[in-house]
Amino acid sequence: MADAVLHLIKLCVGVTDPDVLVLRQAERARQTGAHGGRAFLRTKQCPRRAAEIVAGGSVYWVMSGVLRCRQAVFDIVADQRDDGAACTAVLLDGPPVLVAPRSVRPFQGWRYLTPQDAPRDLAGDEAGAGEGLPVALRRELLSLCLL
């Protein structure tokens, strides 16, 4: 029997927009040379349910208190931080996919997210909602989950 699919939800500290996430991931991959240039995140603990995540899960990113996008998980592997400390790398596959925004309370580390609780992906027209608005207004509408 195939493993069930499970997702992770993670805070994206200091990033307010999926485009900035892409730039930071590319810069990190370039600087570290780790994982063949693939986007990744490092975490202290390996998810106990890693097989379910690798079986088709994603990392859902929370930006400024709002769940904004997701990235598919390619693999979860043992890794090492720049200071030599052991950790786990979650290797990501592809650019972020915008999802229906949802407010999320702060938490530490990551949490599991079931497919039933995951927000839906936004279609092309929905993904560009509010693009002509001033940045501050768009950010406020996103925080209220109105965009």
- Residue 73, Cβ density class (10 Å: 0-12 exposed, 13-18 middle, ≥19 buried): buried
In a domain, 2, yes or no: no
Count of domains observed in the chain: 1
Domain hosting 34: range is 7-143
Mean pLDDT of the chain: 87
pLDDT tens column, 16-55:
889 999 999 999 988 888 898 899 999 999 999 999 999 9
Q: Is residue 123 situated within a structural domain? A: yes
Residues with Cβ within 8 Å of residue 129, at least 6 apart in sequence: 147
Residue type, 51: A
Residue 1 lies in a domain: no
Percentage above 70 pLDDT, the chain = 84
Residue of 91, 104, 117 whose CA lies nearest to 7: 117
pLDDT tens for 50-66 read 999 999 999 999 998 88
Residue 56 lies in a domain: yes
Distance CA 95, CA 121 (A): 13
Is the overall model pTM greater than 0.85, yes or no? no
Which pLDDT tens digit goes with each residue over 73-118? Answer: 999 999 998 888 999 999 999 999 999 888 899 899 899 999 999 9
